[in-house]
Structure 1
């Protein structure tokens, strides 16, 4: 990432607080609302399927419901991964900075020998 002058960026595009807030949005809003919406869709689809019992439409609704459930599980997994990544990003950057600093310190001590 660079600034307009091409000298390099002074900071990251988002702060630890912004990452924490984004993880909180996933945890507090997206995950529970996705789960509730999926449950409502499952209930409505099952009701419709029962209404079409004995028709090919019922079999089609069962297939669609299975596909929907797999997609919801995939989305919930992705949300969890993103939430965890956002939550751990600040610590990762800090540990990386400390590690690089330690390597440079060790190298500078070797240079003095």
Structure 2
């Protein structure tokens, strides 16, 4: 038995694991969800947290706590930037993968159609 992509054990037969593949429509839907839900909602949550932290920091102005909150705020902003970049990357990868699979299928189909078959000689 071979190892499957999801970590389970089982035969590795073509078409045998229906959970592995996804259609171009599913990839497009996932990229749209990232674009219309995850990215804007992440930005909104980040902005809310930034505002709350800034207000809290002002309340502790002159205390060491304000300096600590500033450090937390800077780290938070970097993590949000990393997450937003990752979401953008995943969205683009989904869109690109869908196009690659379609172009590959068309190319293979064209190659098969263009190849000469010895069966045509009979």
Q: Same fold (TM over 0.5)?
A: yes
Q: CA RMSD in A?
A: 2.5
Q: Deviations over 1:58-104 (max 9, x none)?
A: 00000000000000000000000001111121111122334445666
More helix by share: 1
Write the distance in 1 (CA, Å) between the matches of 2:83 and 2:11. 40
- Secondary structure at the residue paired with 2:46? helix
Give the structure 1 partner of residue 30 of structure 2: 22
Give the structure 1 partner of residue 70 of structure 2: 62
Runs (5+) with no aligned partner, structure 1: none
Structure 1 78/6 Cα, relative in aligned 2: closer, same or farther at 3 Å? closer
Of 7, 15, 29, the residue aligned with 1:9 is: 15
More divergent stretch after superposition (27-36 vs 93-102)? 93-102
Write the distance in 2 (CA, Å) between the matches of 1:100 and 1:57. 63
Runs (5+) with no aligned partner, structure 2: 5-9, 117-122
In the TM superposition, residue 5 of structure 1 has moved relative to its aligned partner by: 7.2
